[in-house]
Amino acid sequence: MSSVLPSGASHSGTGSLSPTWVLAIAGFAAMYLPLYWWAINGIWQTEEQGHGAIILAVMAWLVWSMRHEIDQAPTRPVPALGWPIFGFGLLVYFVGRVFDISILEFGSQPLVVAGGLLLLRGTAAVRVAWFPLLYFIFMIPLPGILVDAITGTLKSQIADIVESLLYIAGYPIARSGVILSIGPYQLQVADACSGLHSMFSLSALGTLFMYMMGRKTKLHMGIMLASILPIAFVANIVRVITLVLVTYYLGDEAGQGFLHGAAGIVLLLVALVFFFFLDLALDKVLPARRAPAR
């Protein structure tokens, strides 16, 4: 028995990609896979920028999970808007490529992808993919000028708070600038422990947490968003305290070895716990009404 499809039936459900999509994906891969490879073998191996690889994995998962929604979005290309955005993204990319400015290369991604979606599918596809497009921001390395300007102040504040808390707890600790002396050991609050990069990575974690928890009231989302940086700062203090106590009880080799890396896991766990319980508390305190869909 044979069956005949209606003349207007869609073939998008077959799972095959049109030549246009294949060309678009191939072009994106040609532009950015060398950049990712460079980052994997370079900045993403550092403690300061190590979150970049995680952001890339999250991005890949997000795009893959919403591929059907993007494919089913109404096809109404907007070339009048798509070409300027796409062209500007290409310009930013090539300037970054020619002058070896990774910030521009990474920063061109949301422009290129948004412009491509507008050209291929239209505004409906962009609305579906709004979160991955914004999430590209967290893959952009922080500018060195910004890091240098903020890091010194953060290191001093964290060292001062850690000294005060451990002194109150009865530990033999003293501080000179960003140098903490506890027992026979001296520890410097380094740039990696200053909190700036961890705040950036934890901001990415908090933003993803809010997205995964679903649409809440505007007040709920506003409080969660405003709490990201304070929670990141507190979590980083817990991390430094952990490293100081590990060094005090187990020695300098333990503090600078495997347990130093494990303290980064403590940072993430503490932040997640704060986010989770704050979300639960707001669910109980605030009205259950959810924000209208946009």
Q: Which of the four pLDDT bands, split at 50, 70 and 90, describes residue 5?
A: very low
Asked if the model's pLDDT at residue 194 lies above 60, the reply is no
Asked if the model's pLDDT at residue 14 lies above 60, the reply is no
Coil, strand or helix: which one is 56? helix
Asked if the model's pLDDT at residue 4 lies above 50, the reply is no
Give the count of beta carbons closer than 10 Å to the beta carbon of residue 61.
11
Check if the beta carbon of residue 86 is closer than 8 Å to that of residue 112. yes
- What is the Rg, in whole angstroms, of the alpha carbon atoms belonging to the chain? 24
What are the φ/ψ torsions at residue 229 (nearest 5 degrees)?
-65, -45
How does pLDDT run across 260-288, given as a tens digit for each residue? 566 667 777 778 888 888 888 888 888 76
What are the φ/ψ torsions at residue 17 (nearest 5 degrees)?
-100, 140
Asked if the model's pLDDT at residue 220 lies above 60, the reply is yes
| 76 bridge partner residues | 122
Q: What is the mean pLDDT of residues 200-208?
A: 82
d(CA 36, CA 30): 11
**The tokens 């990696």 sit on which residue?**
192
The distance from CA 95 to its chain's CA centroid, rounded to whole angstroms, is: 24
How does pLDDT run across 51-104, given as a tens digit for each residue? 888 889 999 999 899 988 988 889 999 999 999 999 999 999 999 999 999 999
Q: In the predicted model, what is the mean pLDDT of the chain? A: 82
In this prediction, residue 217 carries a pLDDT of: 81
User: What pTM value is reported for the model?
Assistant: 0.76
- The residues carrying an active-site annotation are 193, 239
- Say what percent of the chain tops pLDDT 90: 37
How does pLDDT run across 94-113, given as a tens digit for each residue? 999 999 999 999 999 999 99
Q: What is the mean pLDDT of residues 118-124?
A: 94
Distances, alpha carbon 219 to alpha carbons 96, 117, 216, 289, in Å: 39, 31, 8, 10
How does pLDDT run across 20-53, given as a tens digit for each residue? 888 999 999 999 999 999 999 998 887 778 788 8
